[in-house]
Structure 1
């Protein structure tokens, strides 16, 4: 494969400006993430430690193998919502006893680890990742149960939590639940529906109804230990499979459980040299445009994330705003689709053909999104853009090899779909801080609505209020500017987290490694394409 050259000029003023804007955005994200990782209020953290309990991330750290990774997912879930950032839950993927696992851990210092709608969505996304990639699940349970004021938004969908646990087990994907405190009401089904349940003496309490509810329902004055303590479940009910004396032993037992799973990657290990890129990944801070109207060459990104900066480009002279080709990343073969502008008929047909080729040879796909969407206009409709764009979307929808998506810039309109956005179930979706997402750009949408309103006024034969139109356009643009940002998107779990562009190679490598826990098989059945 050819080693990609570079035209990046670090001394150019545009590179410096891009870098400064990107660093500012990263500093904001780092500040927000640091607050989430601290846990709840200082008082809540102190009270938790005074009870002799570890914080959830300390438990994760002790579980993960020394010198191995833990990639936290959606750390800013619920950002700018009515709930605490992070949604009182830690999720991620990490290596335990040599096995890549999905973690789901309650943060008891944030509203007692209570479950709100964002907690539920974050949990279900973690289970989806486990199922798609065949990753064992480790749950670190310590929760006060549902966030009762929000029960109307989470109760009905909450049943999926237990359904997914059951389906993971049916699919042969092991689930382990370690109870560090209370597992009450619905939370009691977490150890009950897991393959392995680890409880801690004098700490774990598992019951469908706690003492207050038992008193109200039956009049019985129930003792918590007799009702649902760890000793009772280990010796009487049989719920507990392992009884630990403290948190450290519970974590050691969990590592032992994962160690005996005899887990093997069905997709196989890396097969190619995983040498570092020739070009410096730090350049990515200045390559990504702070102004998304200014495109940047995705080959400059590839030159800093793929093995040895080697890339075999496919159809380089056709559909030039979409770069396609083959590379390896951390030793895993991968087919790349990376755009830097609008998708036309040529790009759409090129993408559909390339996706079919990658499926034919069982090669995962990496999508680097930076697109304003599919082109519009009379000339392009007559040229078949709807038909050809549909080919690309169909190819993405029916592809069966693992997809990993990184949004490096704009993600507007159906371009989001054609480049394997969240709705098309890529194994992982990550974004850069400069990312923007929406049906269309804020100015375009406000303009479209203005034209529609003007036409409606003319049809009714009434005067058009220009001042009101200006105010309405400004309000729409302000709203959409806010709702299209990377922070807004990650807060609503439209992705799996915002990453530092310099970490792209590492993060995508982890995603590909996780995907290879399951079989990596393509398809030749895409259904009938319009010719």
Structure 2
């Protein structure tokens, strides 16, 4: 069985790599044309910007998947280390429609801004964009103003933004460098103006040209909108690194343990864990012990489980990951019952009491239903868990390993509950309920409707509808669909989970971690 699971997961991972490659190659023939002009691609700019040998955690690489727009949404976003400082990096991809921003680009940029704000990260914008994708302006114009608001609010919090302008940054895009704390422009390439020469001619009758209207030289010598003039792209990136080096940046959070052990069990075997049929349960401890630090000199066990005999369908406990202390909640069996909900609520309060971040590992079909459980108070107990998740102030990380259905998605800190980071495995599925269950519910409703009218239920006639609904829900619950809609921060290879979470925990500690003082009323 493990071999079957591995084979299925490896196929999903190969498919994931193929989809991610679509984002890398989204510019098609324009990539070479861009290079022929002596320009670097967005990813090449990022690679030169970050510290040599350091990791770049790309976020939302599949944004726009399944839409009419290129995978990646004409933008590269992620977290990289620049001169020892963790920064949010946002790079326009000018090989995709000139870097024009479509609705998914806007959504992706907003999510990047949220991550930067929540974790106190300086932002570096690598700018070269033709502005809004005009055919979709009605979806971009009104919400798009938030981007400028975010820039100024970040500056007010003493979290700076550095803009490096490599090419066009026109119309509304001109306000990106205009509202940044530091601006670097590339000579003979950067063009920053509210209106280009043709529009100026139409509006005022004035004859002008790109350079005198908005060139890097003019902005560096005359308008003062540029702080540094770079001779070429590599010089611009060098100057951006020097700006970051002079920020006097200090992390406010706790330092991780200086040494830690590698996981007790081999992370490679994470590929064996997830059943091909998500209705089959698996022991999340097997995953936990392949993600968290192994036994070191300062702890007796890798995973210190809390309340192991109570509410056993939910596994909770304490561990360290890359030296950072964390609390973990993981579904041991798909369903959440009253005991599990109460156990989770208590554990979340304890994590807040001692200022410890929480990691949620999803494989849930939701909260238990039925007369016995309703009479036993499943609603109020589930509400206790939701209350605790909603009002918890410590950072939350979420990984959807398998199923994440119904209110179980909410109780386990799904996207609607603002986790600092949320990633999915290629095996993940998320929807209001499982496809078979939802189609079955519709069949029951249709049957009851027919009976109420005194008509026979046409089971054969309803079969195609049932099959269509089941297939539709199955497709809509797949990880690429959710990732394309920016409902996660990326689909990841399970074997990379430890590294990805380690980066996230380091990022979180740019700010002090402080738990909630008040959770409001728990219905007892």
**Contact 2:26–2:71 (CA<8 Å) still a contact in 1?**
no
**Contact 1:272–1:332 (CA<8 Å) still a contact in 2?**
no
Aligned pair 1:156/2:142, yes or no? yes
Segments of 5+ residues of structure 2 without an aligned counterpart are 296-301
User: Which residue of structure 2 lines up, in the alignment, with residue 416 of structure 1?
Assistant: 409
Counterparts of 1:345-356 in structure 2, within 5 Å, are 345-356=338-349
Q: Deviations over 1:273-329 (max 9, x none)?
A: 321112110000011222101111010001111111601100000010111000000
**Contact 1:273–1:307 (CA<8 Å) still a contact in 2?**
no
Aligned pair 1:27/2:20, yes or no? no
Aligned pair 1:329/2:315, yes or no? no
Aligned pair 1:52/2:38, yes or no? yes
Distance in 2 (alpha carbons) for counterparts of 1:370 and 1:139: 37
Aligned pair 1:190/2:190, yes or no? no
User: Which residue of structure 2 lines up, in the alignment, with residue 512 of structure 1?
Assistant: 505
Aligned pair 1:373/2:389, yes or no? no
Distance in 1 (alpha carbons) for counterparts of 2:452 and 2:239: 73
Aligned pair 1:404/2:397, yes or no? yes
Q: Deviations over 1:227-246 (max 9, x none)?
A: 00011111111110111111
**Contact 2:326–2:356 (CA<8 Å) still a contact in 1?**
yes
Q: Which of 134, 140, 160 does residue 120 from structure 2 map onto?
A: 134
Aligned-partner SS, 1:472: helix
Counterparts of 1:475-494 in structure 2, within 5 Å, are 475-494=468-487
Counterparts of 1:70-469 in structure 2, within 5 Å, are 70-271=56-257, 273-308=259-294, 310-340=302-332, 341-469=334-462
TM-score norm. by structure 2 comes to: 0.97
User: Which residue of structure 2 lines up, in the alignment, with residue 10 of structure 1?
Assistant: none
Distance in 2 (alpha carbons) for counterparts of 1:57 and 1:154: 25
Aligned-partner SS, 1:414: helix
Q: 1:506 offset after TM fit, Å? A: 0.4
Distance in 2 (alpha carbons) for counterparts of 1:236 and 1:160: 29
Aligned-partner SS, 1:518: coil
Q: Which of 18, 27, 39 does residue 5 from structure 2 map onto?
A: 18
Aligned-partner SS, 1:101: strand
Q: 1:220 offset after TM fit, Å? A: 2.1
> Bigger shift: 223-232 or 158-167?
158-167
**Contact 1:267–1:518 (CA<8 Å) still a contact in 2?**
yes
Distance in 1 (alpha carbons) for counterparts of 2:245 and 2:26: 30
Cα RMSD, aligned residues only: 1.1
Change in Cα spacing, 1:154 to 1:463, as seen in structure 2 (3 Å) is: farther
**Contact 2:60–2:483 (CA<8 Å) still a contact in 1?**
yes
Distance in 1 (alpha carbons) for counterparts of 2:402 and 2:249: 37
TM-score norm. by structure 1 comes to: 0.96
Aligned pair 1:522/2:508, yes or no? no
Distance in 1 (alpha carbons) for counterparts of 2:280 and 2:355: 35
Distance in 2 (alpha carbons) for counterparts of 1:63 and 1:238: 24
Q: 1:454 offset after TM fit, Å? A: 2.4
User: Which residue of structure 2 lines up, in the alignment, with residue 7 of structure 1?
Assistant: none
User: Which residue of structure 1 lines up, in the alignment, with residue 299 of structure 2?
Assistant: none
Distance in 2 (alpha carbons) for counterparts of 1:212 and 1:277: 62
**Contact 2:26–2:70 (CA<8 Å) still a contact in 1?**
no
> Bigger shift: 82-91 or 43-52?
43-52
**Contact 1:374–1:389 (CA<8 Å) still a contact in 2?**
yes
Q: 1:458 offset after TM fit, Å? A: 3.1
Distance in 2 (alpha carbons) for counterparts of 1:523 and 1:163: 28
Q: 1:73 offset after TM fit, Å? A: 0.5
Q: Deviations over 1:75-110 (max 9, x none)?
A: 111111111000000000010000000011100111
Distance in 1 (alpha carbons) for counterparts of 2:3 and 2:186: 54
Distance in 2 (alpha carbons) for counterparts of 1:249 and 1:454: 70
**Contact 1:178–1:197 (CA<8 Å) still a contact in 2?**
yes
Q: 1:219 offset after TM fit, Å? A: 2.2
Q: 1:173 offset after TM fit, Å? A: 1.2
Distance in 1 (alpha carbons) for counterparts of 2:250 and 2:470: 51
Distance in 1 (alpha carbons) for counterparts of 2:397 and 2:251: 18
Aligned-partner SS, 2:409: helix
**Contact 1:18–1:289 (CA<8 Å) still a contact in 2?**
yes
Distance in 2 (alpha carbons) for counterparts of 1:209 and 1:145: 11
> Bigger shift: 465-474 or 396-405?
465-474
What is the aligned length? 517
**Contact 1:372–1:411 (CA<8 Å) still a contact in 2?**
yes
Q: Deviations over 1:424-470 (max 9, x none)?
A: 11110001000000000011111112222222333344443333321
Distance in 1 (alpha carbons) for counterparts of 2:208 and 2:474: 55
**Contact 1:272–1:328 (CA<8 Å) still a contact in 2?**
no
